[in-house]
Structure 1
Amino acid sequence: MPLILFAAGCGSDDGATGAASGGSSGVKVTGNVGAKPTVTFPSGSPATKSSYEVIQPGTGTQVKSGDKVIVNLTVYDWDGKTNAAQGSSYDNKAPETIAVNAQLPQVLQEGFTKVKHGGRLLAVLANDSVAPQQQTSPAEPTKVFVFDVVGTQPPALKAATGKETGQSIKGVKVDNPGGEKAPTLTTKTGEKPPGDLVVKTVIEGTGAKVQPSQTLTVHYTGKIWGTDKKFDSSWERGEPAEFPLGQVIQGWQQGLAGVPVGSRVVMSIPPKLGYGDQAQQNIPAGSTLVFVVDVLAAY
């Protein structure tokens, strides 16, 4: 599980503001940026107020709101007793990407914009950073994060980019107009729909392969097998969709994991990996779904 999910559910709450640099939490961080930090806690009860402190400002590019920052992070539970480490991306050698946006607790939104690439940020997330409707009982322990900013995720592509493969699914047609124009998907066919998931690469991208735990930015069009009835299209809305891959239908989870960023794929998803016997707004029960998907970014 990504370590930053420890901060998820903290939600954004304007009442939780960052302390000035040199924050008042009393937590000390030593060691060099680029290696796992040593964290020392003050005696007594944990902080009840969220705060951040710039440990090292960094010398690279300034982090801005809206950036997707790549970080190494180390997490502690500050309970005033064992103050146990909960994990570090330095141990599993898997830096994480965090979108600096309104989904983050206020202290992180503010703190990240005070550091540059190569910088180190300490953040204390107490229960004042949890929106009242999300507060659980009993309260979560105060979390302490040390973030080392490695870089920034490049902005999402506008459309798939790469080499056309000539692959397709029998009975389904994808026309690629090129550039940033939407592909055309045709699913009117007398062919019997496949009983299992079928994924074909139409354009092969050259980016990193999608991991199941990532959040994706995609453009897509969805139609019903056999009828050519379109039920959804991000292209028509004029804005790509962004979602954690783990929160969409099974067909997408299985079909997009391992696909290189920049690719265009066409997927035929049987009912058992789609919506099954449940009718959706524009989708009859038991439908085989066909999607053409451009994978524009993954983080």
Structure 2
Amino acid sequence: MAKQEYVSRNLEWLEAKSREPGVKPLDKGIFYKVLRSGDSKGALPGRGSVVTVHYVGKTINGRAFDSSRGATPPAFRLRELIPGWIIALQQMHVGDRWEVYIPASQAYGKSAQPGIPGGSTLIFDIELLAVN
């Protein structure tokens, strides 16, 4: 498949996903669906927070490129992650589990990463376990 066709297919997939029941918008073309709600009165992470999460990352064809499931959940400084994660996680409370749909412009853009072609829309199942 040609690069431009791949990019177009990813954008079309995201547009279709955005119209599904239960899918809600965030900033910059990011969408999410709540899989489980945590404590709505709990703290929200800020850009400088360290977040502990479990996650699975997939491309739109369903192929997983990364996962923390089955291992110790990693901790990340939020500001060091891709923009899509920064935007989504700042809206999540501890215990929330969301499926997040991130356009390439808020992920790796045109750059390919291991297991991720350039221009990919990314799908993440993210569970926020702790904020420090």
Judge same fold: TM > 0.5, yes or no. Answer: yes
Question: Which residue is equivalent to 2:50?
Answer: 215
2:51 equivalent to 1:230 = no
Cα distance in 2 for partners of 1:262, 1:220 equals: 13
Q: Any idea what the Cα deviations from partners look like across 1:192-246, whole Å, max 9, x if unmatched?
A: 2238100222111013222222100000000001x1110000004x111111000
Q: Any idea what the Cα deviations from partners look like across 1:140-198, whole Å, max 9, x if unmatched?
A: xxxxxxxxxxxxxxxxxxxxxxxxxxxxxxxxxxxxxxxxxxxxxxxxxxx72238100
Q: Any idea what the Cα deviations from partners look like across 1:4-49, whole Å, max 9, x if unmatched?
A: xxxxxxxxxxxxxxxxxxxxxxxxxxxxxxxxxxxxxxxxxxxxxx
TM-score (norm 2): 0.76
Cα distance in 1 for partners of 2:114, 2:129 equals: 27
Number of matched residues?
107
Give 1 or 2: higher helix fraction.
2
Cα distance in 1 for partners of 2:80, 2:93 equals: 20
1:277 to 94, 106, 110: 110
2:63 equivalent to 1:200 = no
Q: Which has the larger radius of gyration?
A: 1
8 Å contact kept, 1:209–1:258: yes
Q: CA RMSD in A?
A: 1.5
2:78 to 238, 242, 245: 245
Question: Which residue is equivalent to 2:128?
Answer: 295
Relative contact order, higher structure (CA 8 A, sep 6+): 2
Unpaired segments of 5 or more residues in structure 1?
A: 1-190
Cα distance in 2 for partners of 1:208, 1:262 equals: 11
SS of the residue corresponding to residue 235 of structure 1 reads coil
TM-score (norm 1): 0.35
Unpaired segments of 5 or more residues in structure 2?
A: 1-11, 19-28
Amino acid at match of 2:122: L
